[in-house]
Structure 1
Amino acid sequence: MNDFWIILTGVLVACSCSILGCFLVLRRMAMIGDAISHSVLPGIVIAFLFSGTKESLIMMLGAAVFGLITVYLIQWFHQSGVQSDAAIGVVFTALFAVGVVLVSMYSRQVHLDLDHVLFGEIMFVPWERLTVGGVDIGPRAVWVLGGVLTLSCVLISLFYKQFKICAFDPAMAAAAGIPVALFHYLLMGLVSVTTVASFESVGAILVVGLLVVPAATAYLLTERLSRMIFYSMGLGSLSAVIGYYGSVLLDASIAGCMITVAGILFVIVLLLSPTHGVVWPKLKQKRISSEEAL
């Protein structure tokens, strides 16, 4: 039964990250997840200092606020003339450094350190249960991640057209009367919440891999956004399942094996994709040349 909960958690994380990752990849903002995953550290520490508890919901709220602050600062710096990659680097390193200072100052009497905040362990998911009215209803991470995935699916389904136009052509979206800034911050808010919700499962750093790799792999397989989203979710889920059994076989990190499998799938698709692959187009061109020679 523990295997089931671990795999289900991995699939939920992969699906939640993959959906949003497609829009990040299309908007060339793939590394925004990395920025958010580090810059939310001050929010987690401040939430703990004000609440005095390590309750996940309170820390998630604090982290989500700083995730939005991160996005706003990056956008502001970029509009002020700073290149986007430089803006991301400046904001997330500065805020992460502030978080490290706060952790070093206020974590001497409590267990609140960088390992606790940034490096999750999915193996412990089955033992952290959620009880309602004294009834055990399953691992807490499954319910949290399931709620986050449902929220992302509902919002993206309701505003799919707006998200799609904003991703491909923000100028046209603005001309059509779509509030581009609103949907930009809505997407970044979803990324922040998803990143924070996945902390305790796979860790903030590995969330970046699930945000980027499945979506980038799906991008090589299709040119339609709807298919890209489903392919990305499928690839992410496949990575979670294969990665888990691979970790059991190798006696290695579960989350690390999941991302490793995702990377292997990306390389395979990069080599063999009919449209964007490295090997397949060359083989096709060689075959055409041979037929012309005959």
Structure 2
Amino acid sequence: MTYTAWIIITASLVGLSCGLIGVFLVLRKMAMMSDAISHTVLLGIVVAYLMTRELSGPHMLIGAILAGLLTAFLVQWLHNLDLELHASMGIVFTTLFAIGVILISTSIGNAHLDIQHALMGEITFVPFHTMELPIVGAVPVTTVMLAVVLLIVVITIIVFYKEWKITSFDPALAASLGIPIVFMHYLFMSLVSITTVAAFDAVGAIMVVAMLITPAASAYLWTDKLSIMLLLSSSFGVISAIIGYYIAAWIDTSISGSMAFATGIIFIISFLLSPTHGFLSRSLGKQRNQFS
């Protein structure tokens, strides 16, 4: 398979996973949690490196996931102390991210960990780090990991679809039905952390946030049905990955940045043209009501 194909496939896997998870983040009004976790995983990566002095291995993934769970726990803890949710997110993510930056600056030295890498990722190098798989042959390691994460995301959503649907729309009803709200919350945050960590190294924090929020927000404008929203959001993620790559190739710029930009283009189109919640349809509806 060609270099371009592997980059597009890898980015599309990010778009699929983040698009599915993002729907529940938007519905739960926790969209900025993706921003918080995508930044604070840096602290987990840095701490894992300081403990092992190795830049690859499962310890990096474990450290990043633990940092994501720590973020979710601290945000919920502060929120339970009557601090506004978004303020809690802002406090936790800026503090933990700042600690990660300070550790990089003071303790990492010449290791290949830097702020530019954290923000923009290195998707251009993904096709060069491969592993051999039966039948398929040489496949980029990051692509394999993202495919596994997508499978985990899809299976988890299918298994807990009813519980997450109820807890997202009506937590009080969920509690009355005996659904373990706290467990479902942290299970969901674990999934957000795993998805973010898997995409973090390849595409960076900026694209992770864009893929988690913008496709889901765009899908929200087109439908009120959760199943359709999940399909649209994941589709928008893939379309953004493809369009973004060719924009980057056209003007010779950052691939991840262009893909994030493409999610914004799709949102603008959705905001203007959505038949239900779009700006133009609402404006025309108001005009009809005035003349009726």
TM-score under structure 1 normalisation? 0.94
The Cα of 1:118 is off from its aligned counterpart by 3.7
Match of 1:184 in 2: 185
* Residue 85 of structure 1: aligned partner: 86
Distance 1:92 1:283 in 2: 42
Separation in 2, partners of 1:23, 1:169: 13
Tell me the residue number matched to 2:171.
170
User: Partner amino acid for 2:11?
Assistant: G
Residue equivalent to 1:22: 23
Runs of 4+ aligned residues of structure 1 deviating over 4 Å after TM superposition are: 287-290
Kept after mapping to 1: 8 A contact 2:133/2:139? no
Give the Cα separation in 1 of the matches to 2:172 and 2:289.
41
SS in 1 for 2:111: coil
Aligned counterpart, 1:259: 260
Q: CA deviation at 1:198?
A: 0.6
Distance 1:285 1:46 in 2: 56
The correspondence of residues 1-294 of structure 1 with structure 2, limited to 5 A, is 1-131=2-132, 137-287=138-288, 292=292
Residues 13 and 146, structure 2, Cα contact 8 Å, conserved in 1: yes
Contiguous gaps of at least 5 residues in structure 2 = none
Pick closer, same or farther for the CA change 1:109–1:2 going to 2, 3 Å: closer
Could you tell me the percent identity over the aligned residues?
47
Residues paired across the two proteins, number? 290
- What secondary structure, in the 3-state scheme, does the structure 2 residue paired with 1:40 have? helix
Q: Distance in 1 between matches of 2:36 and 2:200?
A: 14
Structure 2 letter corresponding to 1:259: A
Change (3 A) 1:180 1:151: same
Q: Aligned partners of 1:20, 1:56: CA distance in 2, in Å?
A: 25
Q: Aligned to 2:88, what secondary structure does the other structure show? A: helix
Q: Alignment RMSD, CA only?
A: 1.7
Q: List alignment gaps of at least 5 residues for structure 1.
A: none
Distance in 2 of aligned mates of 1:132 and 1:235: 29
Q: Distance in 1 between matches of 2:144 and 2:126?
A: 11
Does the C-alpha gap of structure 1 residues 168 and 56 become closer, same or farther in structure 2, counting only changes over 3 Å?
farther
- Whether the 8 Å contact between 2:211 and 2:260 is mirrored in structure 1 is yes
Asked if the contact 1:107/1:113 (under 8 Å) is kept, the reply is: no
Moved more, 105-114 or 91-100: 105-114
* 8 Å Cα contact 2:37/2:193 also seen in 1: yes
CA distances 1:221-263 after superposition (whole Å, capped 9, x unpaired) = 0001100000001111111111111221221211111111111
